[in-house]
Amino acid sequence: MVAATTDYAPHQNGGRTSGAQKVTAALCVLLLGVSIAGLAVGAADTSLWSGLFAVMQGEDLSLRDEIVLLHIRLPRLLTGLLVGAALASSGALLQGLFRNPLADPGIIGVSAGASFGAVCAIVLGGALPFANFLGAALLPIFAFAGAWGATLLLYGIATRRGRTSVATMLLAGIALSALTMAFTGVLIYMADDAQMRDFTFWNMGALSGANWNKLLIVAPVVLLALGTAQFLANGLNAMALGEDAARHMGVSVQVIKRLAILCVAAATGVSVAISGGIGFVGIVVPHVLRLVSGPDHKHLVLNSALLGACMLVSADVVARVIIAPAELPIGIITAIFGGPFFLWILLRQRGVVDL
């Protein structure tokens, strides 16, 4: 009995703290790898290496290489990283907030809310007096508002006296998705040809529309949300025991909840605004990480962002080359690879740990 008290090394939590740090390090390396792939691979036969070589020799890039590398692939890569990080960490935050591993922006209607906001911006935005002033920021702002509204509404419906009902959450999410999709349908029906074209391009999503202008709007929002999310870790850990228990331990539950909802709405909102709805990142990534390095949000949120970024950029690379020079929508790739992988994890872990 006494011997057990002599050593308080991290092995007592299954060595998971140091494990999580190793995972972070490994993900950083992976991120570097997929980033290089993201720049090197594409339909055009531009070589990243010859480009780099030329620059190192002090020569100028050819105009074609410059356009391909700096104005097409680089913004696309960065957008992919940000969107992947945003969706995966939003998943981790939502799951912590709802205390349920099924919460995912795509499943519970947050993305649908963002889509609805985006369509509102496309169809109704022109009629607004301040539309010109907002310019390119109009769509992300509306998408954010839609995501925020959906999350608030859902949390209000599903949580009663500090307990979140899973069934209510999922059912309300489905109802909310259906409702917002119906409204979206009505708006599309009302739209004129030009708006219709805008909507179609936006809805095809993927990362093909990425450019520096859009990136300038997305990057600060996503980075701010990701930064804020890091401060919510302790609170979310305590909230795993329920809101009352978290409050007893001194957590300002209301503050944590509001910030988490804001972060999720901001990150998901701008992600959807720029890339349409991309499923499966928000649910698969945090799951995998919980299995590998435990549910501690101190590591989970950051590692989710890293793995989400890796996953989305890899998916984008595959989407670009698999039927080149055409492209598959990235959502198809994440679902084709994410779906079976997710099922495999579930089957393997069935009965071992109740996620």
Partner 1 sequence: MALIAKNIGVRVEKKVLLRDVTFDAQPGAVTAIVGPSGAGKSTLLSAVSGDVAYTGSVSLNGQDIKSIRASVLAHHRAVLAQATPLAFPFTVFEIVRLGLQRHTEPKIAAHALQKVGMAGFEGQYYQSLSGGEQQRVQLARVLCQVWQPVEDGVPRWLFLDEPVSSLDIGQQLRVMQTARDFADQGGGVVVVMHDLNLTAMFADRVALVVDGALVVQDSVPKALTAERLTDAYGCDLKVCEAPISGFFTLPQLARVYPSQELL
Binding site residues, partner 1, CB under 8 A: 1, 4-5, 8, 11-14, 16, 96, 99-101, 162, 237-242, 244-245, 247-253, 290, 294-296, 353-355
Q: Give the DSSP letter of residue 322.
A: T
CB of 295 to partner 1, least distance (A): 4
Nearer CB in complex with partner 1: 29/353: 353
H helices of 159-252, in order, are 166-190, 193-204, 212-230, 233-239, 243-248
Smaller CB distance to partner 1: residue 58 or 250?
250
State the minimum distance, in angstroms, from the CB of residue 256 to partner 1.
Answer: 11
Q: How far apart, in whole angstroms, are the C-alpha atoms of residue 245 and residue 314?
A: 40
Instruction: Give CA separation, 12 vs 4, 5, 131, 241, 293, in Å.
Output: 10, 11, 57, 20, 14
CA 200 to each of CA 118, 196, 286: distance values in angstroms, whole numbers, following the listed order? 12, 6, 31
Nearer to partner 1, 107 or 313 (CB): 107
Residue position matching structure tokens 């935005």: 125
Q: How far is the CB of 149 from partner 1 (least distance, A)?
A: 25
- Taking CA atoms, 204 is separated from 34, 112, 126, in Å, by 23, 15, 21
Are residues 303 and 25 in contact, defined by beta-carbon separation less than 8 angstroms?
Answer: no
Residue number with CB closer to partner 1 (247 or 332): 247
Alpha-carbon span 280 to 338, nearest angstrom: 6
Q: Which is nearer to partner 1, 69 or 236 (CB)?
A: 236
When the beta carbons of 82 and 259 are compared against partner 1, the nearer one is 259
Least distance to partner 1 from the beta carbon of 75, Å? 36
d(CA 315, CA 87): 14
Minimum distance from CB of 5 to partner 1 (Å)?
A: 6
Q: Compute the CA torsion angle 277, 281, 287, 290 (nearest 10 deg).
A: -120
Nearest approach, Cβ of 66 to partner 1 (angstroms)? 48
